[in-house]
Structure 1
Amino acid sequence: MINYHYSDSISKWRNLGIELYKTNNQKLKRVSNNQRKTIPPKGSLEYVYYTRHFLDSSKLIQQQFKPYINRMLLENKDTLHIGTLNQFKKHHKELFEELTKNDSISIRISDDKKSVNRKIFPVEY
């Protein structure tokens, strides 16, 4: 289950990374994003993520999303459904290009000796 809590205090969360926490006796304990997490068979783990979202109020963005937002408001929903990636690309080519410019996937491979090899692969749509 995913629960959201929104805050408008951007000054408190200035860095852009995602912070990972685990609950411990009703308190949050920070967990390294790089630390190995093992989930036992038929088990589960519960984490809290602090993420950052920045809103773009430019005219292009507002015009592109207006029909979706109007539908959300009419249906009293909190999620913006925009279709598949290909549908979005077809209907909003300029915005898609802007949002996906320079996308890449980074993979870090480490062995038991703590040496890390990082590979970055560009994403092609």
Structure 2
Amino acid sequence: VGIGGDPVTGLSFEDVYKMFKGDPETDAVVIVGEIGGGKEEKFAQYYATDTSKKPVVAYIAGKTAPPGKKMGHAGAIVFGSEGSYLGKVEALSRSGVKVAGNLGEIVRLVREAIQRTH
């Protein structure tokens, strides 16, 4: 699920996760984030406190973006660690989310997550 990088979105990652968590047909959730903003870090805080977790795999776009440079359609900009690729990956990983380093890893991580829970 990608909710976009704009400052105002209709749903948060937490909202979307809660919907899919309650769906018995969903075995895992994939979130697609990007540098800039704090939506992924906010989700990580929520997910860390979830006592009945459904597996989540994340991919964060913008790994090679230069710090301090305005990027993309939503004007994502990273200063220091706030909204940075590394900051997001660390927060998500600490919370228990598996983070794909590239798009090709997503399927493997989802498969592994589902196997661990079944």
TM-score (norm 1): 0.23
Which structure shows the bigger proportion of residues in helix conformation?
2
* Structure exhibiting the larger radius of gyration computed from Cα positions: 1
Greater strand proportion: 1
Which structure would you say has the larger RCO, counting Cα contacts within 8 Å and 6 or more residues apart? Answer: 2
- Normalized against structure 2, the TM-score is what? 0.24
